[in-house]
Structure 1
Amino acid sequence: MSETNPKTRSDTALCDKQETAEPPLYRVLLLNDDYTTMEFVVKILQDVFRKPHDEATKIMLSVHRHGTGLAGVYVKQIAETKCATVHRLARAEGFPLRCAMEPE
């Protein structure tokens, strides 16, 4: 009886490489209002979106001047969680700050 070496077996099937698509990305936007303080928007950008102070300030100014500011681009579940976190923290502080997401 002959022995087979598992490393050299020719009948072993090779798995075809399956192409995997990248998940769709979503832009998370902060929306301007007349009540939320600029300081709170900067704090949200630092705490929720992990932006450094200088970048958070630039985004906040975009929100203030143009009505929206891009907080980040994420896969859908993370974008949804970030928006929900922004809404929860804003409501807890009595601010009407809104966050929206749109496909990239």
Structure 2
Amino acid sequence: MYRVILLNDNYSTMDFVIEVLMKVFRKSLEDATKIMLNIHNNGQEICGVYTHEIAITKVAQVRNMARAKNFPLKAIIQED
């Protein structure tokens, strides 16, 4: 299994990060807000744990959403 981790940056808006968490990771508004604040305060946060293929897909979805909005938001995978 693999953790998908979102990394903080100084450009992606909090609203955009919440949108990504809700659309890509299917988080509720409350959970997405908590995760976003952890990313903002701690530099990164785990968004979910998935099989390798699903984790890679989630990272690609984050990258595509960020590129479409010209944000540098980045997701990485890490073996659990």
Report TM bin, short chain. over 0.9
Q: Which has the higher helix share?
A: 2
Taking structure 2 as the reference length, what is the TM-score of the superposition? 0.99
* Higher relative contact order (Cα pairs below 8 Å, separated by 6+ residues): 2
Alignment coverage as a number of residue pairs: 80
- How many Å separate the matches in 2 of 1:100 and 1:61? 18
In structure 2, list runs of 5 or more residues that go unmatched. Answer: none
In the other structure, the counterpart of 2:29 is 53
Q: Percent identity?
A: 50
Partner secondary structure for residue 62 of structure 1: helix
> Which is greater in Rg?
1
AA of the residue aligned to 2:34 = K
In the other structure, the counterpart of 1:91 is 67
Q: How much does 1:69 deviate?
A: 1.1
4+ long deviations beyond 2 Å: none
Taking structure 1 as the reference length, what is the TM-score of the superposition? 0.76
In structure 1, list runs of 5 or more residues that go unmatched. Answer: 1-24
RMSD: 0.4
